[in-house]
Amino acid sequence: MRILGIDPGLRITGYACIEGTLMAPTIVEAGVIRLDASDADDPSVSIPRRLLELERDLIDLLERVRPEAVAVEGLFVHSDHVNTAVKMAHARGVMLLTIRRAGLGLIELKPAAVKKSLTGSGRATKAQMQEGVRRVFGLAEAPRPADVADALAIALCAVARDLAPAGGSGLGAGG
């Protein structure tokens, strides 16, 4: 099974395509989509332009890695950053529409579920997530930036939760 994990962002979107089984996953491709935020002082221009850029980059990515399904991290709204969540919702909307237009299966995962699946704790730090991903894939170093590690964890969680055989469990704290 080939699955693409996406950690949405309006400046940096992490992505990771993996294949294989939960016990032996391999990385097909992983990286970030960096969107130009040079005109961020004018949201009426910047946000629509970045959304269009995101759509084009995501279409290119889907055509290049050819996943069977795409897992996207759900929206987390912190009461101190509601405006950021609204902007992020725009990016997720473009992603969800692009994925559906491509005819791909869509799996939406809550951030805490992804963290718990990989580390055993729904409140894991970025460093803990990076170390968990490094360990699962047997990497010499933790993936950087953290958006790449998050995307890898999202893809792994999708495999563990939605694609594992009946009775299968998540990755657990031990990986």
Q: Which domains does the chain have, with CATH numbers?
A: 2-163 (3.30.420.10)
Can you give the pLDDT at residue 41?
75
Residue stretches of the chain with pLDDT short of 50: 164-170, 172-175
Can you give the pLDDT at residue 37?
81
Please name the residues in contact with 117: beta carbons below 8 A apart, sequence gap of 6 or more. Answer: 153, 156, 157, 160, 161, 170, 171
Tokens 């996406």 belong to 6
Can you give the pLDDT at residue 162?
60
Contact 129, 144 (CB under 8 A): no
Distance CA 67, CA 53 (A): 21
Can you give the pLDDT at residue 83?
76
* Nearest CA-CA partner of 6 in 160, 150, 171: 150
Q: Which residues are catalytic?
A: 7, 73, 147
For residue 80, the one-letter residue type is D
